Amino acid sequence: MAENCRICNTLLTKFLSLGEMPIANAFLSKCEIDEEEYTYELAAGFCEDCKMVQLLEVPPQEKYLVPQEDEGNRYLYFASTSEHMVEHFSTFADEVTERFLSDDPRIVEIGSNDGIFLKNFSDDVDVLGIEPANNVAEVARERGVESINEFFSTDVAERIVEEHGDVDVVFGANTILNIPDLHDLMDGIDTMIRKDGVFVMEDPHMLEILKKTAFDQFYDEHLYYFSVASITNLVRMYDMEIFDVKKQPTHGGSLRIFIQRSNGPYQVSDRVRAVRSEEERAGISDAETYRAFSDRVQEIRDELLAFINAAVDDGKRVVGYGASSKGNIVLNYCSLGADVLEYIVDNTPAKQGTYTPGMHVPVVAPELFREDYPDYALLLAWNHAEEIMEKEAEFIEAGGEFVRYIPELEVL
For residue 210, which of 306, 282, 132 has the smallest C-alpha distance?
282
What is the dihedral angle through the alpha carbons of 393, 394, 399, 401, rounded to the nearest 10 degrees?
-40
Among the residue ranges 128-136, 143-151, 380-388, 396-404, the one whose residues contact ligand TYD (CB under 6 A): 380-388
Among 197, 322, 358, 362, binds ligand TYD (CB under 6 A): 322
Q: Which residue number, 40 or 243, has a Cβ lying nearer to ligand TYD?
A: 40
CB of 379 closer than 8 Å to CB of 327: no
From residue 48 to residue 87, the character string flagging contacts with ligand TYD as x (rule: CB under 6 A) and all else as - is -----------------------------x---xx-----
Please report how close the Cβ of residue 393 comes to ligand TYD at its closest, in angstroms: 12
Please report how close the Cβ of residue 114 comes to ligand TYD at its closest, in angstroms: 12
* Beta bridge mates, 240: 261
Q: Which residue number, 110 or 259, has a Cβ lying nearer to ligand TYD?
A: 110
Among the residue ranges 2-10, 232-240, 288-296, 379-387, the one whose residues contact ligand TYD (CB under 6 A): 379-387
Q: Which residue number, 97 or 347, has a Cβ lying nearer to ligand TYD?
A: 347
Q: Which residue number, 110 or 330, has a Cβ lying nearer to ligand TYD?
A: 330
CB of 328 closer than 8 Å to CB of 359: yes
Q: Per rule CB under 6 A, is residue 153 in the interface with ligand TYD?
A: no
Q: Is the dihedral of CA 408, 39, 324, 52 positive or negative?
A: positive
Please report how close the Cβ of residue 214 comes to ligand TYD at its closest, in angstroms: 10
From residue 332 to residue 351, the character string flagging contacts with ligand TYD as x (rule: CB under 6 A) and all else as - is --------------xxx--x
Among the residue ranges 88-96, 101-109, 330-338, 378-386, the one whose residues contact ligand TYD (CB under 6 A): 378-386
H or E element that contains 255: strand 254-261
Q: Parallel, antiparallel, or unpaired: how do β-strands 72-74 and 106-110 relate?
A: unpaired
Q: Per rule CB under 6 A, is residue 326 in the interface with ligand TYD?
A: yes
Q: Which residue number, 79 or 231, has a Cβ lying nearer to ligand TYD?
A: 79
Tell me how many helices (H) and strands (E) the chain has: 12, 19
Please report how close the Cβ of residue 355 comes to ligand TYD at its closest, in angstroms: 14
Q: Per rule CB under 6 A, is residue 384 in the interface with ligand TYD?
A: yes
Q: Per rule CB under 6 A, is residue 388 in the interface with ligand TYD?
A: yes
Q: Per rule CB under 6 A, is residue 22 in the interface with ligand TYD?
A: no
CA distance 291 to 288: 5
For residue 403, which of 382, 383, 387 has the smallest C-alpha distance?
382
Please list the alpha-helical segments (H only) found in 34-82: none
User: How far from each other are the two terminal CA atoms of the chain, in whole angstroms?
Assistant: 40
For residue 241, which of 286, 276, 205 has the smallest C-alpha distance?
276
Measured in whole angstroms, how far is the alpha carbon of residue 190 from the centre of its chain? 24
Q: Per rule CB under 6 A, is residue 383 in the interface with ligand TYD?
A: yes
Please report how close the Cβ of residue 240 comes to ligand TYD at its closest, in angstroms: 28
CA distance 350 to 347: 9
Binding-site size for ligand TYD (CB under 6 A) equals 18
CA 33-221-235 angle, 5° bins:
175
Q: Which residues contact ligand TYD (rule: CB under 6 A)?
A: 77, 81-82, 322-326, 346-348, 351, 381, 383-384, 387-388, 391
